[in-house]
Amino acid sequence: MQTGVVRAGWRALLALSCALAGAAAAAPLPAEWHVRLVPGDAQLQAHPGLDAWRPAQVPGSVHADLQAAGVIGDPYAGAAEAGLQWIGLADWEYRARFDVDAATLARRHAELRFDGLDTFAEVSLNGRPLLEADNAHRTWRARVDGRLRAHGNELRVVFRSPIRTLLPQVQAMPHKIAGNYPSPYGDEPKDAMVGNFTRKPAYHFGWDWGPRYVTAGVWRPVHLDSWDRHRITDLAVRTDALDEQRARLSVLLEVEQGAVAGKAGVVVDVLDPDGRRVARLEREVALQPGANTVQLPLEIAQPRRWWPVGYGAQDRYTVQARIDGGGEPAREAMVRTGLRSVQLQRDTDAGGGQGFAFVINGVPVFAKGANVIPFESFPARVTRARLRRDLQAARDANMNMLRNWGGGYYESDDFFDIADELGLLVWQDFMFGGGMQPGYDPAFRASVVAEARDNIRRLRHHPSIVLWCGNNEEETAWKDWGHGRDLAAADPAFAAKVWQGYVDLFGTDLRRVVAEEALGVPYWSSSPGNDLDVKANDSTRGDKHYWDVWGGPALPATAYLRETPRFMSEYGLQAWPQRSTVDAFARRDEQRIDGPVIRAHQKFMAGQGNERLLHYIEREYGTPASFADFVYLSQVMQAEGIALAALHHRASRPYTMGSLYWQLNDVWPGASWSSIDYFGHWKALHYHARRFFAEVAVAALRDEDGVTRFSLLNDGRQPLTAQWRVRVMDVAGGEFARQQETITLPPMSSTAVADLVDADLLKGHDPARSVAAFELLQDGHVIARRLVHFVPAKAQALAANQLRAELRSDAGGGHHLRLHADGLVRAVWADFGDTGAGVDDNAFDLLPGETRELRVRGDVPLDTLRAALHLHTLGDALHAPSVPPQDPASTPRTR
Those residues whose C-beta lies under 8 Å from the C-beta of residue 205, and which sit 6 or more positions away, are 180, 181, 183, 188, 193, 194, 195, 212, 214
Pick the CATH number of 696-791 from 2.60.40.10, 2.60.120.620, 3.40.47.10, 3.30.70.1350: 2.60.40.10
> Phi and psi dihedrals of 298, rounded to 5?
-155, 160
> Phi-psi bin for 17: left (phi > 0), alpha (psi -120 to 50), beta?
beta
Specify the pLDDT at position 888: 36
> Phi and psi dihedrals of 364, rounded to 5?
-70, 135
CA-wise closest residue to 761 among 787, 792, 732: 787
Classify 30-220 by CATH class: mainly beta
Cα separation, 647 vs 790, in Å, equals 18
Specify the pLDDT at position 27: 79
CATH topology of domain 237-337: Immunoglobulin-like (2.60.40)
Q: Which 8-state DSSP code applies to residue 165?
A: H
Q: What is the 3-state secondary structure (H, E, C) of 659-724?
A: EEECCCCCCCCCCECCCECCCCCECHHHHHHHHHCCCEEEEEEECCCCEEEEEEEECCCCCEEEEE
Q: Classify residue 146 as exposed, middle or buried by CB count within 10 Å of its CB (0-12, 13-18, 19+).
A: exposed
Cα separation, 791 vs 769, in Å, equals 9
Q: Divide the 895 residues of the chain into consecutive groups of 10 and give the mean pLDDT of each group.
A: 32 31 58 97 97 98 98 98 98 98 94 97 98 98 96 98 97 94 94 96 97 98 94 95 96 93 94 96 93 95 97 97 81 94 94 94 98 98 98 98 98 98 98 94 98 98 98 97 96 98 98 98 97 94 98 96 98 97 97 96 92 97 96 98 98 98 98 98 98 98 96 97 98 94 98 97 97 97 98 96 95 93 98 93 98 95 95 94 48 29
- We find that the CATH architecture of domain 366-535 is Alpha-Beta Barrel (3.20)
DSSP string, 310-366: TTS-B--EEEEEEEEETTEEEEEEEEEE----EEEE--B-TTS-B--EEEETTEEE-
Those residues whose C-beta lies under 8 Å from the C-beta of residue 157, and which sit 6 or more positions away, are 93, 94, 95, 96, 117, 121, 122, 123, 218
Positive/negative CA dihedral, 457, 460, 465, 469: positive
End-to-end CA distance of the chain: 55
Per-residue pLDDT of 189-239, as tens digits, reads 999 999 999 999 999 999 999 999 999 999 999 999 999 999 999 999 999
Positive/negative CA dihedral, 832, 835, 840, 842: positive
Those residues whose C-beta lies under 8 Å from the C-beta of residue 507, and which sit 6 or more positions away, are 525, 532
Domain 237-337 identical in fold to domain 803-872: yes
Side-chain half-sphere CA neighbours of 350 within 13 A: 0
155 touches 125 (CB < 8 A):
yes
Name the residue ranges covered by the structural domains of the chain.
30-220, 237-337, 366-535, 546-693, 696-791, 803-872
For residue 745, the surrounding DSSP H or E stretch is strand 735-745
566 touches 356 (CB < 8 A):
yes
Sheet with 720-730: strands ordered across: 735-745, 720-730, 770-778, 781-789
CATH placement of domain 803-872: 2.60.40.10
- We find that the CATH architecture of domain 546-693 is Alpha-Beta Barrel (3.20)
Side-chain half-sphere CA neighbours of 636 within 13 A: 29
140 touches 133 (CB < 8 A):
yes
Specify the pLDDT at position 352: 86
242 touches 339 (CB < 8 A):
yes
CA-wise closest residue to 388 among 359, 427, 415: 415
Cα separation, 624 vs 497, in Å, equals 52
Specify the pLDDT at position 12: 31
Cα separation, 577 vs 675, in Å, equals 9
Specify the pLDDT at position 326: 66
Q: What is the pTM of this model?
A: 0.94
CA-wise closest residue to 397 among 663, 635, 687, 695: 687
Positive/negative CA dihedral, 554, 672, 396, 893: negative
666 touches 203 (CB < 8 A):
no
